[in-house]
Amino acid sequence: MASPHKVTYHKGKLQAYLDRERIFPACLELDLSTECNRRCPLCPSATGGSPAQLELRFIERLLARLGGETRGLLLSGGEPTMAATFPDTLRIAREHGFVEIAVVTNGDFLSEDVVAEALCAHATTIRVSLYDWTDTPEADLRGTLHRIEHLRARIEKTKSPLQIGISALTTTENAPKFAEVGRAVASAGAHWIYFHPFCIRWEEGAPQRIDQRRVLEAIADFRNTSADGFDVFTFPDRYAEYEIRFDGYHAAHFLLVVGADGMNYLGAEVKYQRRHILAELGQRWDAYFLWHKERLDRIAAVHSDTYPALGSRHRGVLYNHVIQELLDGETTSFHDEQAGETSYLYPHIL
Ligand SMILES: C[S@@+](CC[C@H](N)C(=O)[O-])C[C@H]1O[C@@H](n2cnc3c(N)ncnc32)[C@H](O)[C@@H]1O
Ligand code: SF4
């Protein structure tokens, strides 16, 4: 299960933050390029503007700056596996001490040698997003299933530790198909599947979930019948209705989001929304950008009452709520002996 408490795994950083000290983020979410071979109508990364891609020089500088302090790297986009910088980025991240590297992909290029080789050599996991599977999943996903089989065979052959994950967007409408799509990807060789809510209104910077009734029940039903060795995950708090409250977007100190335009954005749910730029890293590189007063002030000024993307219940929003409770002294759970010791899958990928 994913959890808003995953941020508390990073106990040292969290304690330092509560003590108002400077910290490096636990995880970097980096878009290599905004380019993509698909045109999903509700793409969260559609910029509406001109395409952008990061130069390798920039990527190396950023990874070198964070290396040794930040252990998690999540590559996204656009389609990251299409970017010319993809293989080198994975290699350089390992050289700079990133411990867990996750790649979010549409899976269309997994059969390309250069992509599969870089993944097997350096990545911890991929998360293949499935689109267009609501009618007849097996038939709709034939190409993707084939590429998953191909990659799994390569993993076995090279004894790579790479894990193949799948992500499926949920709605009340597609809930009856979860078991079918889950079984199809499991038999193609995926290690796990992750269900998360379909959102709309990305273009306004105000993403929100659409109807998710009966989704958690359908996921639980599928989990009860799924084969051993294939994991079924979700993030229950993303489906919940409890009120979220925070004064300052604390998660921006733990999860650093950098777009393919070289901008640091507040959170993944508002990427490419200009009003949520925290720092401009491309043209105005400064090794101390994390702690610039202007950046810190922008983060501190965000409040749950007026945050337009609250309705997405995205992970950053949920981490904010947990950190706010700690700041307000409303929970003591973090200070007990067990805190930070709960086992999370890929704990460095926030
Ligand atoms: C913008 S994509 C970029 C990476 C890659 N091209 C892909 O599609 O996985 C990043 C994430 O956005 C998610 N996503 C796409 N459309 C979405 C939607 N309408 N609501 C919520 N998440 C969405 C995908 O599941 C994926 O995890
Ligand atoms: S595959 Fe990913 S980046 Fe490409 S259009 Fe779809 S959601 Fe956007």
Cβ atoms of residues 179 and 227 within 8 Å:
no
Please determine, for residue 251, whether its predicted confidence score (pLDDT) is greater than 60: yes
Q: What is the pLDDT of residues 114-158, one digit of tens each?
A: 999 999 999 999 999 999 888 888 888 999 999 999 999 999 999
**Centre of ligand 1 from the C-alpha of residue 11, in Å:** 29
Write out residues with Cβ below 6 Å of ligand 1.
36, 40, 42-45, 76-77, 79, 104-106, 129, 167, 169, 198-199
CA distances (Å), origin 216, targets 167, 223, 233, 258: 15, 10, 11, 31
Tokens representing 271? 């990427």
- In terms of Cα–Cα distance, which of 33, 25, 16, 36 is closest to 63? 25
Please determine, for residue 11, whether its predicted confidence score (pLDDT) is greater than 60: yes
- Distant-in-sequence, close-in-space partners of 311: CB < 8 Å, separation ≥ 6: 206, 207, 208, 209
Q: Provide the edge-to-edge strand list for the sheet that holds 277-280.
A: 231-234, 192-197, 163-170, 125-130, 100-105, 72-76, 27-31, 255-258, 263-265, 277-280
Please determine, for residue 317, whether its predicted confidence score (pLDDT) is greater than 80: yes
Is the CB of 107 inside a 6 Å radius of any atom of ligand 2? no
Q: What is the pLDDT of residues 258-284, one digit of tens each?
A: 999 999 999 999 999 999 999 999 877
pTM of the entire predicted model = 0.96
Q: What is the pLDDT of residues 35-91, one digit of tens each?
A: 999 999 899 998 777 899 999 999 999 999 999 999 999 999 999 999 999 999 999
pLDDT > 90: percent of the chain? 89
* pLDDT (0 to 100) of residue 240: 96
User: Among 79, 167, 200, which residue has the most ligand 2 atoms within 8 Å of its CB, making it the best to mutate?
Assistant: 79
Cβ atoms of residues 311 and 206 within 8 Å:
yes
* pLDDT (0 to 100) of residue 334: 67
Nearest CA residue ID for atom 6, ligand 2: 40
Amino acid identity of 291? W
Q: For residue 301, how many other CB atoms are within 10 A of its CB?
A: 11
**Centre of ligand 2 from the C-alpha of residue 350, in Å:** 21
* pLDDT (0 to 100) of residue 321: 97
User: Among 129, 208, 315, which residue has the most ligand 1 atoms within 8 Å of its CB, making it the best to mutate?
Assistant: 129
Cβ atoms of residues 162 and 191 within 8 Å:
no
Please determine, for residue 333, whether its predicted confidence score (pLDDT) is greater than 80: no
pLDDT band at 343 (very low <50, low <70, confident <90, very high): confident
CA distance 133 to 112: 23
- In terms of Cα–Cα distance, which of 198, 269, 203, 200 is closest to 48? 203
Please determine, for residue 25, whether its predicted confidence score (pLDDT) is greater than 70: yes
